[in-house]
Structure formats: C-alpha cells, structure tokens
Amino acid sequence: DAGVIQSPRHEVTEMGQEVTLRCKPISGHDYLFWYRQTMMRGLELLIYFNNNVPIDDSGMPEDRFSAKMPNASFSTLKIQPSEPRDSAVYFCASSPNPYNEQFFGPGTRLTVL
Amino acid sequence: AQTVTQSQPEMSVQEAETVTLSCTYDTSESDYYLFWYKQPPSRQMILVIRQEAYKQQNATENRFSVNFQKAAKSFSLKISDSQLGDAAMYFCAYRRTGGSGGGADGLTFGKGTHLIIQP
C-alpha cells in the first residue's frame, strides 16, 4: 500500500491567497484526520471525517479554514484568505476504525509570506 | 478535556545505552489508547508502540517497551540499546475509545521530547 498521500509537500504563498491542501487516505480506512503542527502549539487536531462525513470540526481555527471529503479517497483542506500565522506543517492521517493507530501522511509545509 | 504532558523537552543518551522518556496524561475516561510516535527530521510521523488501557500487560516492540501505570496516569517509553537511527522527536499521544456515543476522537499529543543519541 502506498500509505497516506499528501500534496503538495511544500507550499509557499502570499498573504491573502487561497491555499488548498490535498490528501488521499489509505484505501479501506473509514476515518480521516487533519492536524496542524507548529512550534508554539505542537500537534493539534483540526477536523476529522468518518465515512466522508465531518464529525468534529471544533479544532478548525476560524472560518477561513474549510475541509471537504467528497469521496472515500480524497479530502481537501482549504485556507482562504491565508495569513502568515497559518504557516505550519499540515498532516493528514487515516485509520481503519476507532481502535487502531492513525497512519500519517508526509505532511505539507505551508509558508505564508 | 484530555491533556498529555511530556516534561522532558530534550534527552541525550549514549549509543547502546537505555533511555526512558516520560509521559503523563489526564482523562476521566476509563477506556482509551496510548501511543508513542517518532518524528525524525524527515517529519514523517511513525508509530513506535501502542497500549490499550484495559490491558495490564505493558506493550513491547523489539527494543521499545512501555511502563503503563494506569492509576498514576503515566505512560513512559523505554528504548534499550539506543541506536543512532533512534534520534528524533518522540510524541506521546492519547485517543479515547468510542464510548457510549461511538465514534472516534483524534489524537491528543504531548509537546514532544527531542532525543539525541551520542555516538
């Protein structure tokens, strides 16, 4: 299995621009998670999906952030408009059920200038 | 809300020696899972070991073992025969089980411990 796939690996953009991060979970995994990692706040859960349905988005920092999962093999995290404080590494992870560990993608390093 | 605390921002150990990384957590749940993840400079998050709270026996994976003290809410990681490839950030993480409402929460992470291996 290819594991969790994220794209792009690196993204540099200017303040005010729209950013879209993409994730392909491991086939057969029903749970998909988006995390953000910063030096100040560490790893934080942003949102997670079960069977393509958003279950808990309480970690989404503000309305500028949105996430979708149109099908079982694809999810996006969008930031519009982006701000310098959004600079972080964004991880996508998937899990086959509530009882297993989560498998992480390689992350997207986002830099907002 | 659950919290996970790693009190050692950085640890250093000689190659081939043993090192223990500390983790404590706070929860009102009785059933949950605990994990140690490793993050090398490549930033990939790699599972090291997992522990189910209902199991009294401590988990082991080759050179890695845990000391799980449920009453004390402590979950330390012991690395035996340290190798240069063990150098990384190590994160302790908590995940509750489905509970009566079902579903699954995401992982709650500690702030991490930077492990340095001295050759």
**How confident is the model at residue B101, as a pLDDT?**
40
Alpha helix ranges (H) inside B21-114: none
> Nearest-CA residue of chain A relative to B43?
A106
Per-residue pLDDT tens digits for B54-93? 998 999 999 999 999 999 999 999 999 999 999 999 999 9
Least CB–CB distance from A42: residue in B35, B95, B111: B111
Answer yes or no: are the C-beta atoms of B110 and B8 closer than 8 Å: no
User: B106–A48: do the CB atoms touch at under 8 Å?
Assistant: yes
User: B91–A45: do the CB atoms touch at under 8 Å?
Assistant: no
**How confident is the model at residue B104, as a pLDDT?**
58
**How confident is the model at residue A60, as a pLDDT?**
92
Alpha helix ranges (H) inside chain A: none
Is pLDDT at A18 greater than 60 in this prediction? yes
Least CB–CB distance from A104: residue in B44, B108, B111: B44
Residue of A37, A101, A108 to mutate for B, most B C-beta atoms under 10 A: A101
> Nearest-CA residue of chain B relative to A6?
B44
Average of per-residue pLDDT values in chain A: 94
Q: Which two tokens stand for residue B2?
A: 């659950």
According to DSSP, the residues that pair with A92 across neighbouring strands are A34
**How confident is the model at residue A101, as a pLDDT?**
86
**How confident is the model at residue B98, as a pLDDT?**
62
Residues of A in contact with B61 (CB under 8 A): none
**How confident is the model at residue B4, as a pLDDT?**
96
Angle at B26 between CA B3 and CA A88, to 5 degrees: 10
User: A93–B47: do the CB atoms touch at under 8 Å?
Assistant: no
User: Mean per-residue pLDDT for B12-17?
Assistant: 97
> Nearest-CA residue of chain B relative to A106?
B44
CA distance B65 to B59: 6
Task: Return the sign of the alpha-carbon dihedral for residues A55, B37, B112, A83.
Answer: negative
